[in-house]
Amino acid sequence: MGLFPALASNMLNMVGVGPFLTVPLILAAMGGPQALLGWILGALIATCDGLVWAELGAAMPGSGGSYEYLQQAFGPQSLGRLMGFLFLWQVMLAAPLTAASGAVGFADYARYLVTSLTPAEQKVIAIGVCLLATFLLYRDIRSIGRISATLWVILMVAMGVIVWGGAWHFHASTAFSFPPGAFHLSSKFFLGLGAATLISMYDYSGYFNVCLIGGEIKHPEKNIPRCVLLSIGILAILYVAMSLSIIGVLPWQEAVHSHAIVSDFMERLYGIRAAQIMTILILWVAFASVFCVLLGYTRVPYAAAAEGHFFSVFGRVHRTRNFPSFSVLFMGIASAAACLLTLEDLIKGLIVIQIVTQFAAQCIAVIAIRQRRQHISRPFSMPLYPLPVLIALAGWIFILASSGAVYVLSGFALLVFGIAAYLWRAKILRHWPWERQEAIADTTR
């Protein structure tokens, strides 16, 4: 896969249905159009973290991504075993939250077409979306290429229509109607900025997906860094342009309460028929993104279990269709259960879990590899090292601190449970750290 196919695939994984759902949440986080700062700060953090991924991905381009990076950085026969396991552990939590966010977004836009839907009925629809995607994964996945291509076209058309329509009907007085004290640098401002940045990271998330398929990329030492950084730059421009287009037509005071922001935007510009057509397209995008998320994530624990690195039950395959049956069922049912949460809870929970168990650890990993694993070739070295690493790490800490005590405590609780699960399994299999104790015991007998 060359640069441009890899770039298109990476951007598709980044966009999904996210930007059609999150504009009201970002506006609400800061209480006005100053929330666009969240997109900008998010792009800065994503770029710095992207440099971390780019250096690691170029150095270790084989498929595996974070699992391989963390193992090599911290020692494949020691602490790296635990760090790799924790990456797999967070996948089991992050995947259902990601899929559920798309399903909840589907239900929100469905309400635009069927205005009589109650909140309980929306939950039922979201759960049904996850279960239907799971059922289809049990039937046939050969159409995934066509689904991805169609999804890409619809996404680009939808975003193009929004930006074009907003540009022609843009009202600066509407877009930049800042509330009093919008830029007063108080604790409230920074908490709001952190919350807005967290939500923007949900939309940027996925810039690292090209690293997961590094073994399929031509000249990975050049194309992985290019793909990561270009994806972030292009989508940062698109996201800011799309948000400005929307709040340049819909006053932010109105947009912040919208459950189907793009539909309301289209109705204001072109009437209800155009809005209904756009809503149907977004419903397709939402369902397709849920399907693709479940398809991709279900293979991660399966592959790890098949190699003996995760709980063996996830390595079970269907007797006749030869796909990871237990992993599909687990992810599908967990995603359906996660639909009981709100969209904001899903997004915050997802990002916090990834920061605690993966993103912060990788910032430390790239330093560890430079200091302790100098035998690993680095065909790409981030500029201004270690500044990008420190900015990324500071950004993750800032987002974590702004997310709220409930999310932080939940994230660390899940981390503790993950460590306990690893130690329990490692003791049974006599892996690190128990194998060392066993060896010491043997020598003293």
Q: pLDDT by residue (tens digit) across 306-345?
A: 888 888 899 888 887 777 889 999 999 999 999 999 999 9
Closest CA to 260 of 89, 403, 107: 107
Domain hosting residue 315, numbered range: 3-405
Query: For residue 106, is it within any domain?
Result: yes
Predicted TM-score of the model (pTM): 0.90
Residue 421: pLDDT band (50, 70, 90) is: very high
Contact (CB, 8 A) for 214 and 227: no
Question: Would residue 199 count as lying in a domain?
Answer: yes
Q: Which of 8-12, 90-94, 224-228 has the lowest mean pLDDT?
A: 8-12
Distances (CA, A) of 71 to 89, 214, 421: 14, 17, 18
Residue 386 lies in a domain: yes
CA distances from 243 to 30, 60, 261, 442 (A): 14, 36, 10, 64
Using a CB cutoff of 8 Å and minimum separation of 24, what contacts does 258-261 make? Answer: 258/24, 259/24, 259/108, 259/109, 259/111, 259/112, 260/108, 260/109, 260/111, 260/112, 261/20, 261/21, 261/23, 261/24
444 belongs to a structural domain: no
Q: What is the pLDDT of residue 444?
A: 44
The mean pLDDT value of the chain amounts to 89
List pLDDT tens digits, range 174-189.
999 999 999 999 999 9
> Is residue 432 a part of any domain in this protein?
no
**Which is nearest to 262 in space by CA: 399, 126, 159, 343?**
159
Crossing angle of helices 19-30 and 220-247, in 10° steps, is: 60
Q: What is the mean pLDDT of residues 162-167?
A: 91
Q: Output the pLDDT for position 438.
A: 54
Does 15 fall in a domain? yes
Question: Domain containing 215 — which CATH number?
Answer: 1.20.1740.10
Reference 418, options 366, 332, 353, 337; nearest CA is 353
Structurally, the chain folds into a number of domains equal to: 1
> Considering the domain boundaries, does residue 64 fall inside one?
yes
Answer whether residue 255 is part of any domain: yes
What is the rounded CA–CA span in Å between residue 286 and residue 99?
9
Amino acid identity for residue 352 in this structure = V
